[in-house]
Structure 1
Amino acid sequence: ALAHTGKKELLLTGGIAASPRLREMCEIMCDERGDKFYVPPFDLCRDNGAMIAYHGLIEYKSGKRMKLEDTVVKQKWRTDEVDVTWLS
């Protein structure tokens, strides 16, 4: 995602952020790239259902609407294929 967006910071959150190995890999990658890496304390790394709901609220407030049949999960969705329509 850093390479696709040109960003210089990585924030690892949600349940996956509880993985010690992933934390280590992200830290190494960011060190090698000269990027900053942030991760919350372990006890705050839980399922990110609340973040998903909040993201949905942001999109809804920005006017985005979808038909139920268009809300299926895209497991191999690349970060550079996401339309960020709520930031302008």
Structure 2
Amino acid sequence: MAAKLDVAHTTVATVWRRHGITPHRLKRYKGSPDPDFETKATDIIGLYIAPPVNAVVFCVDEKPAIQALDRTDPVLPLRPGRAEAHG
């Protein structure tokens, strides 16, 4: 960006830091392949937002002793100034 704007790279870094811009950080969301996911999610969220009268809503984890450690991307190594990243 600095080369494109013909300014020093430190100028770009300073502006990004002051405004909290971190283009090097990625947030990922993995969508469900289930074609009925949106309908199912709407039904479940609806229970929490507007539960039926005299109802109790429980959330039960199917596998409470198992951590979700399967990653779709390799782990990026730790470097100075950057935390370890997972996909």
Superposed pair shares fold, TM > 0.5? no
More strand by share: 1
Measured against the shorter chain, the TM-score band is: under 0.3
Larger Rg: 2
More helix by share: 1
Q: 1 or 2 for the larger relative contact order (CA 8 Å, sep ≥6)? A: 1
TM-score (norm 2): 0.22
